[in-house]
Homo-oligomer: A and B are copies of this chain.
Amino acid sequence: MSAFPDIRSTAMSKLAALLGERLTINSSIREQHGRDEGYITPVPPDAVGFPDSTEEVQAVTRICNEHRIPMIPFGVGTSLEGQVIPMHGGLSIDCSRMDRILELNAEDLDVRLQPGVTRRQLNEYLRDQGLFFPVDPGADATLGGMASTRASGTNAVRYGTMRNNVLALNVVLADGRLLHTGTRARKSAAGYDLTALFVGSEGTLGIITELSLRLYGREEAISSAVCAFDDLKGAVDTVIETIQMGIPIARIEFLDEVLMGAVNLYSKLDYALKPTLFLEFHGTPNGVREQAESVGEICSEHGGANFQWAVREEDRQALWRARHDVAYACKLLRPDGRLWATDVCVPISRLTECIVETRRDIDQSNLVAPIVGHVGDGNFHVTMMLDTSDEEEMARAHAFNERLVDRALSMGGTSTGEHGIGITKRQKLVAEHGDGVAVMHCIKQALDPLNLMNPGKLFLDG
């Protein structure tokens, strides 16, 4: 059912007058904007607009608001829980043309940019300045999208997530009002934390049209390593002990043996087919050596061996590129399958128990589903490869996902560490927050009374 009943032609002609050829109903472009990287059945939007500026986004929202047209912000479509899928039709607002870096303040370690800039684009721009932006979800997502889903990644254990690294936002609300949240100051006690409210709101409160981000100086010394373990428990116990000892490790990532096979295949590598940690240390040369020695000892106590070091920039890049391409590697496990990457996050002390139980559950559920995780945060992913046309298999996948989230919640954890709620986990948001969801909905209604901003996400309909 289209969101544009009889007013469709009026709204469309207003949007076309505004955007010209940057408004399209071309079916392949609509299809491309109707799907993400998850398993959910695509739903194309009624049209796709490509605004060039904040002012155009404001004008678009005013038209959509007047004609009650749902608005779905879109970056590059790498969400995993259906966040960009126009469940109720409407206009997909593709921000990829807004891809300029507007102002670099190297001396203050901050940058102001448009939402369509991707994380790799930003880091390539920063490389010559000796700076970097640490948040790195697997995909080369846009920074607007990353802010909207409160993205995270391999560096979060040391540098935090988008929650910690967004200083300020420009947001266009459903009625076209432009909001500036935050300043360039490193901290503030001035009023409600609107920046934090919009980060992670999954496009349900407004459209991000500008971001100010924290940057970091490149460390003097960096070294990466891969270490294989005899069993899953040894690998995860190593992580727990490293974190509990307060070692300021920059990255500590777990991949199970199934995944290592896929990684070897996809990235043409020859790592051992065992539960494996990918590690990275940042600091001064002495500091890195001290950290590496301490973690090396913990590893060997837990059956870790065969450290493979990567110190040269190109070797480290290859190692982490392999890690980031895990989702694509997974596809080799079942080339005709569709990927459903779910994630949870638990207190670190419960991590081994949670992963061991989950591995058993996967096997008992007869699913193809490797485990990979940003384990230093207590966060891990289960990447199911599914035949979405097989109802019985999908039922097993749904039941497994339910148990996974319930297990994490029962351990004091959260239903998602970084992928967000989207469409799939809306019921679990209620299980996690209880009355908190009513409060969230109350805020949603206050800012978007017509429910036009990405409707059908976060909150159950009706």
Contacts and interface: CB of A to CB of B under 8 A. Distances in A.
Contact of A417 (B149, B188, B419): B188
Interface string A389-421: 000000000000000000011001111111111
Contacts of A433: 180-181, 190-191, 194
A170 B162 CA distance: 24
Given A187-B152, A217-B246, A180 B436 contact: yes
A437 interface: yes
Interface stretch (A16-24, A105-113, A222-230, A314-322): A105-113
Contact of A442 (B110, B150, B349, B446): B446
A197 B187 contact: no
A268 interface: no
Interface string A157-186: 000110110000000010001111101111
A193 B199 contact: yes
Contacts of A408: 185
B178 A435 contact: yes
Interface stretch (A61-69, A119-127, A282-290, A365-373): A282-290
A217 to B, nearest CB: 4
Interface residues of A, number: 87
Contacts of A429: 190-191
B445 A414 contact: no
A283 to B, nearest CB: 7
Contact of A187 (B244, B287, B417): B417
Nearest to A422: B189
A236 interface: no
Interface stretch (A28-36, A269-277, A297-305, A340-348): A340-348
28 contacts: A105-B349, A107-B349, A109-B244, A163-B196, A177-B435, A178-B435, A181-B436, A183-B432, A184-B413, A186-B379, A187-B417, A189-B420, A190-B428, A190-B429, A191-B433, A191-B436, A191-B458, A192-B201, A192-B443, A194-B439, A217-B244, A219-B246, A284-B287, A286-B286, A287-B290, A443-B446, A445-B446, A446-B446
Given A107-B240, A179-B439, A190-B428, 13 more contacts: A177-B435, A180-B433, A183-B413, A184-B412, A185-B417, A186-B345, A187-B377, A189-B417, A189-B419, A191-B421, A191-B433, A192-B440, A443-B447
